[in-house]
């Protein structure tokens, strides 16, 4: 008995051990893009992934002409029934990244310095995508509150060393505070502050340098600081790359951008590659990037919010069957594509055009991104960027592959495999 499209896709993902990847792709592909925003400096450079050995030491990041300095400042802090001078330390992990995206998104959407967090702390956490708010020493609410306090207690310096014609810098802002108050609680009795007022300087600067993100994508990768860093960095870098001139960079350069303090470069490389293959590539399918073991290549790509999706389209189909209005399996009718038989160097382009025409646009955009038809000694091969994608295309697009092969004059459908250069 044939499985319906979603069940078949889930079964394949589970057998490949990548059920989480399929779910991320499905959630983002089936939702209308929703805008979120982050300052370009925080896309170009990241906060610490984990708590530093000395968390009271300033964070210094440099990425090309950008420089970011975040300095924790001493504040008056209630402790043991008294008020003492204390340095909370620098923010770290995925939570301050989510907090910054939420605060900056609200500021950009409302065009106001006054950012309403929520009527209650639980309400604010729900707005950020948390389903529940747990308390206690390691509860989600406690951890969010601690990271919010760390963020607001810091001073920020954002600098871009690019001289104008008159010799002045494009911008150089010193001792820039995110907000006028240092914590997310009132000074009198520790109650939750429902509103944060951004400083005028920061708000004005954010309005000119906000990078658009997809809120649904952020929610799918929210638990990984590395995935959030990679997603926001690509969202900032890829749309700015020239179509005619891709960018290549070393893993050492990326490590410097991420503020990687690990002596083990191999471990860092594997962490980033895992984040790309299992999370970021799923929620940002338009991104054209290659994270090989020796080098990183970035190609011009649309921004996350430029994706075009078919209303109501499903992520997955099962080759040879579909579901009618009554839920009954029915034969799939692939669109007729009239193409002249191609030979030689025309075959890859003609084949991919016919294959795309045989699929719904939303499916083609997700599953055929960066797929190439290559001629090897053993014959034609459809090369993909991951083994999961190869398994999925092979199992679910059989008729479409046959259809495209027939129209370009191939004797049989090409084999579908992961590209050799993408293997660890």
Rounded to whole angstroms, the Cα distance separating 126 from 148 reads 15
Residue 269: other Cβ atoms inside 10 A: 21
Beta-carbon contacts of 62 under 8 Å, excluding residues fewer than 6 positions away, are 45, 68, 256
Residue 226: other Cβ atoms inside 10 A: 21
Mind listing the pLDDT tens digit for each residue in 57-105? Answer: 998 887 767 788 888 888 877 777 788 888 889 999 999 999 999 989 9
Beta-carbon contacts of 240 under 8 Å, excluding residues fewer than 6 positions away, are none
Across the range 205-220, mean pLDDT stands at 88
Rounded to whole angstroms, the Cα distance separating 421 from 356 reads 24
Q: 17: buried, middle or exposed (CB in 10 Å: 19+, 13-18, 0-12)?
A: exposed
Residue 327: both structure tokens together: 């839920």
Rounded to whole angstroms, the Cα distance separating 134 from 120 reads 14
Across the range 48-60, mean pLDDT stands at 90
> Picking from 47-61, 86-100, 348-362, which range would have the lowest pLDDT averaged per residue?
348-362
pTM, two decimal places:
0.66
Q: Phi and psi of 196, rounded to 5°?
A: -115, 135
Rounded to whole angstroms, the Cα distance separating 361 from 84 reads 60
Q: Give the residue from 277, 272, 236 showing the smallest Cα distance to 255.
A: 272
Across the range 217-233, mean pLDDT stands at 92
The pLDDT of residue 293 is 87
Residue 197: other Cβ atoms inside 10 A: 14
Contact 401, 359 (CB under 8 A): no
The pLDDT of residue 30 is 65
pLDDT at residue 296 is higher than 50: yes
The pLDDT of residue 317 is 24
- CB environment 343-366: b (16+ within 10 A), e (fewer): eeeebbebbbbbbbbbbbebbbbb
Rounded to whole angstroms, the Cα distance separating 59 from 420 reads 39
Radius of gyration of the chain (CA): 24
Q: How confident is the model at residue 7 (pLDDT cuts 50, 70, 90)?
A: low
Rounded to whole angstroms, the Cα distance separating 117 from 319 reads 47
The pLDDT of residue 185 is 43
Long-range contact pairs involving 51-57 (C-beta distance under 8 Å, separation at least 24)? 51/89, 51/92, 51/93, 52/90, 52/92, 52/261, 55/89, 55/90, 55/92, 56/87, 56/89, 56/90, 57/90
| CA dist list (Å): 118 to 93, 193, 195, 273 | 23, 9, 8, 36
The residue extents of the domains of the chain are 31-306, 322-422
Pairing of strands 415-418, 379-384: parallel
Beta-carbon contacts of 423 under 8 Å, excluding residues fewer than 6 positions away, are none
What CATH code is assigned to 322-422?
3.30.300.180
The pLDDT of residue 33 is 66
pLDDT at residue 333 is higher than 70: no
Across the range 32-44, mean pLDDT stands at 84
Rounded to whole angstroms, the Cα distance separating 47 from 50 reads 9
* Neighbouring-strand partners of residue 69: 60, 157
211, HSE (Cβ side, Cα atoms, 13 Å): 23
pLDDT at residue 38 is higher than 90: yes
Strand, helix or coil for residue 193? coil
């Amino acid at each position: 008995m044939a499985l319906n499209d979603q069940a078949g896709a889930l079964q394949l993902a589970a057998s490949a051990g990548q059920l989480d990847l399929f779910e991320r792709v499905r959630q983002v592909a089936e939702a209308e893009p929703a805008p979120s925003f982050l300052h370009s400096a925080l896309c170009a450079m990241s906060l610490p992934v984990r708590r530093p050995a000395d968390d009271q030491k300033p964070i210094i990041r440099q990425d090309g002409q950008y420089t970011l300095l975040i300095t924790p400042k001493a504040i008056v802090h209630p402790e043991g029934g008294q008020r003492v001078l204390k340095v909370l330390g620098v923010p770290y992990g995925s939570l301050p990244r989510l907090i910054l995206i939420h605060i900056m998104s609200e500021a950009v959407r409302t065009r106001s310095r006054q950012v309403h967090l929520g009527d209650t702390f639980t309400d604010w956490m729900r707005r950020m995508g948390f389903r529940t708010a747990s308390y206690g020493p390691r509860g989600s609410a406690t951890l969010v509150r601690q990271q919010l306090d760390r963020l607001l207690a810091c001073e920020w310096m954002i600098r871009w060393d690019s001289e104008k014609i008159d010799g002045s810098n494009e911008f150089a802002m010193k001792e820039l505070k995110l907000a006028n108050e240092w914590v997310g609680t009132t000074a009198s009795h520790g109650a939750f502050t429902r509103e944060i007022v951004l400083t005028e300087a920061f708000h004005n600067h954010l309005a000119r340098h906000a990078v658009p993100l997809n809120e649904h994508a952020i929610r799918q990768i929210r638990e990984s600081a590395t995935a959030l860093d990679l997603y926001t960095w690509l969202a900032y870098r890829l749309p700015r790359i020239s179509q005619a001139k891709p960018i290549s960079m070393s893993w050492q350069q990326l490590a410097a951008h991420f503020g990687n303090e690990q002596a083990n470069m191999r471990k860092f490389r594997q962490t980033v590659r895992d984040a790309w293959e299992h999370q970021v590539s799923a929620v940002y399918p338009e991104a054209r990037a290659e994270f090989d073991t020796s080098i990183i290549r970035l190609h011009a790509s649309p921004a996350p919010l430029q994706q075009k999706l078919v209303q109501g389209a499903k992520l997955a189909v099962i080759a040879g069957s579909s579901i009618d209005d009554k839920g009954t399996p029915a034969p799939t009718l692939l669109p007729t594509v009239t193409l002249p038989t191609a030979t030689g160097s025309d075959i890859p382009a003609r084949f991919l055009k016919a294959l795309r025409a045989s699929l719904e646009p939303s499916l083609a955009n997700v599953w055929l991104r960066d797929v190439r038809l290559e001629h090897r000694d053993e014959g034609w091969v459809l090369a993909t960027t991951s083994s999961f994608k190869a398994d999925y295309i092979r199992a679910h697009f059989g008729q479409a592959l046959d259809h495209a092969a027939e129209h370009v004059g191939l004797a049989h459908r090409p084999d579908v495999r992961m590209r050799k250069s993408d293997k660890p």
